[in-house]
Amino acid sequence: MTPTTADDTSFARLAELTQRLEATTKRLEKRALLAAFLRSLRRDEVAPAVHLIVGRIFAESDARALNVGWATLKKALGGTKQASLVARSLSILGVSQTFAQIAEARGPDSTRARRRLLESLLGRASSGERDVLLKNVFGEMRIGVNEGVMLEGIADASGVDLDTVRTAHMFLGDLGMIAEIALFEGADGLHVRGLRLLAPMKPMLAEMAEDLDEVLAVHGGMTAIEYKLDGARIQIHRKGDAVKIFSRRLSDVTSSLPELVAIAKGLPASEFLLEGEVVAVDRDGKPLPFQDLMRRFRRVHGIESAQEEIPLKLYLFDVLHLDGRTLIDEPYRVRWEILERLVPPNLLTARRVAQHKEEIEAFLKEALVAGHEGLMAKQLESTYSVGKRGKKWFKIKPADHLDLAITAAEWGSGRREGWLSNYWLAVRDDKSGAFQMIGKTFKGLTDEEFKAMTERLRGLATSEERWGFHVRPETVVEVAYNEIQRSPHYPSGFALRFARIVRIRDDKGPQDVDTYERLKDLYAKQFERKGRGPDDL
């Protein structure tokens, strides 16, 4: 371990800061505490400190992981008594360097080496410091310093305006580096680090469309629709002979994907940044399950045989830089034209421009038949918003259905006045038999059905409230929804996005209601596709 020198900032000060951050819920106070702390650091201490405060140890784009499991940690905690005899204080830099050594330990003896390094840290830590170390080990520094507050703290500490700091973060994907540059080079330093080739950039994200009318209305009556491919998003950078490929989470995956490197080197330009989706396919070119693609992404050895086992197909859909020219501020319409000129048609994502619902429906059907997930709808005049989710890009996927019980009903207002028309929807917990609420809806029924439903639910009432009735869960409805989300509002922990009733299932009773288990399964599958995999690399 590097010896601590007198002017190194002690780790104890960082631990004390995290305690003070934890003690307040006021955002402004957190900002001020962070700003004062950051300002007190030496340049080389800033990035490591920022990573330790947010509990991540390494930058977001850094693929290193500690590889410390429970067993190692338990042993290290047990072995710390001895170590404390050589008590010396920890510094921020020392802690950061030791974590790096733990992550880099290789070979047959690496588990022991990791344990010893961890022991040396824990043994020299006070109890407050231990807290911070352990939370970092488990990546769950829940002291209320998320990325957002940290960015504000960095802005305050450096006097650089928050927008500039946020934008720079989208491009660099590294909070520590942002803090260091903001503090020591100011806004100028951050500006020149806009889009950089061979360095990852946070991708633009899409919002779930409620329905096709919304898509056309928001996009001004015309939209470009592309297949939504069920693969992994990648950005391909080329600068002369150098090619780098990054995943959605900004990890460098170049070495696992040599065939894509070859494609990039074959394109007729010397500098570019392309975005696309890579899909695993079988020998006939049909998409393979997502898991197969993940195997390719994780592969670091035997790449050649992997290439044969699981061939990849690349579909490009955007170009953000070409031969010295940054294109993120160009309209998507123009970027697509440039892309079309640069790459052969077989590398382009299937796309067309649509003005009518029927065209979108037909193209969606085509995409699903070809084994893809749905469509993306992109506003033709939109610029590329690095790292942002918004309605300039919509995802369009076929709705899923669940059979749910109505457990309560609220009186409607306006046109639905006098009817019980807003229904609480629940799945059944197979273990306890209880019904778990996962959403509400007033959509999908005709006026006649509302009337009949009002009578029926009154008859099932178990208690009256100011807003309506709780009812026996005997009415089953088939509900369409676009996505399952995590939700703090319901004890079930889940909520349906854009729920609407498709049908009243008079043929079904409470026993036929979909279960909580099934809901959790569906969520896990959805998560696996969008949140995991390449994102975790």
Catalytic residues: 228
Least separation in angstroms between CB 531 and ligand AMP: 8
CB under 6 A: which stretch of 138-146, 223-231, 303-311, 322-330 binds ligand AMP?
Answer: 223-231
User: Beta-carbon neighbour count of residue 203 at 10 Å?
Assistant: 23
Name the token pair of 26.
Answer: 């006021």
Nearer to ligand AMP, 37 or 393 (CB): 393
Least separation in angstroms between CB 468 and ligand AMP: 35
The answer to whether residue 45 forms part of the interface with ligand AMP (CB under 6 A) is no
CB under 6 A: which stretch of 193-201, 224-232, 405-413, 441-449 binds ligand AMP?
Answer: 224-232
Q: How many CA atoms lie within 13 A of 443 on its CB side?
A: 12
CB under 6 A: which stretch of 135-143, 221-229, 282-290, 463-471 binds ligand AMP?
Answer: 221-229
Q: How far is residue 375's CA from residue 378's CA, in Å, rounded to a whole number?
A: 10
Least separation in angstroms between CB 366 and ligand AMP: 14
Give the residue, chosen from 56, 124, 166, 233, that forms a contact with ligand AMP under the rule CB under 6 A: 233
Nearer to ligand AMP, 112 or 365 (CB): 365
Nearer to ligand AMP, 176 or 203 (CB): 203
CB under 6 A: which stretch of 95-103, 120-128, 175-183, 225-233 binds ligand AMP?
Answer: 225-233
Give the residue, chosen from 286, 356, 365, 530, that forms a contact with ligand AMP under the rule CB under 6 A: 530
Quickly tell me which residue has 């294109």 as its tokens.
327
Q: How far is residue 180's CA from residue 111's CA, in Å, rounded to a whole number?
A: 33
Give the residue, chosen from 8, 129, 226, 410, that forms a contact with ligand AMP under the rule CB under 6 A: 226
Number of residues in contact with ligand AMP, rule: CB under 6 A? Answer: 13
Nearer to ligand AMP, 156 or 373 (CB): 373
Least separation in angstroms between CB 370 and ligand AMP: 13
Residue type, 313: K
β-strand partners of 406 = 425
- DSSP tally for the chain: helices H, then strands E: 19, 19
Q: How far is residue 177's CA from residue 47's CA, in Å, rounded to a whole number?
A: 6
Residue type, 216: L
Residues 280-319, interacting with ligand AMP (CB under 6 A): 317
Quickly tell me which residue has 């059979």 as its tokens.
403
Nearer to ligand AMP, 140 or 381 (CB): 381
CB distance 233 to 416 below 8 Å: no
Q: How far is residue 372's CA from residue 375's CA, in Å, rounded to a whole number?
A: 8
Residue type, 255: S
Distances (CA, A) of 300 to 66, 68, 183, 254, 420: 18, 21, 38, 10, 59
Q: Strand 400-411 and strand 223-228: pairing? A: unpaired
Binding mask 318-357 for ligand AMP (x = CB under 6 A): -------------------------------x--------
Give the residue, chosen from 169, 202, 248, 335, that forms a contact with ligand AMP under the rule CB under 6 A: 248
Residues 383-442, interacting with ligand AMP (CB under 6 A): 395
CB contact burial 404-418 (16+ within 10 A = b; e otherwise): bbbbbbbbbeeebee
Residue 179 makes CB contacts below 8 A (sequence gap 6+) with 38, 46, 47, 50, 150, 154, 157, 158
Least separation in angstroms between CB 389 and ligand AMP: 8
The answer to whether residue 228 forms part of the interface with ligand AMP (CB under 6 A) is yes
Name the token pair of 184.
Answer: 């020591």
CB distance 146 to 53 below 8 Å: no
Nearer to ligand AMP, 21 or 224 (CB): 224
Residues 179-198, interacting with ligand AMP (CB under 6 A): none
Least separation in angstroms between CB 536 and ligand AMP: 13
Distances (CA, A) of 130 to 17, 99, 113, 123, 382: 14, 14, 19, 9, 48
Nearer to ligand AMP, 37 or 227 (CB): 227
CB under 6 A: which stretch of 85-93, 130-138, 170-178, 222-230 binds ligand AMP?
Answer: 222-230
Least separation in angstroms between CB 320 and ligand AMP: 13
Q: How many residues does the chain have?
A: 537
The answer to whether residue 156 forms part of the interface with ligand AMP (CB under 6 A) is no
CB under 6 A: which stretch of 61-69, 226-234, 454-462, 486-494 binds ligand AMP?
Answer: 226-234
Name the token pair of 27.
Answer: 């955002």
Binding region for ligand AMP (CB under 6 A): 206, 226-229, 233, 248, 277, 317, 349, 376, 395, 530
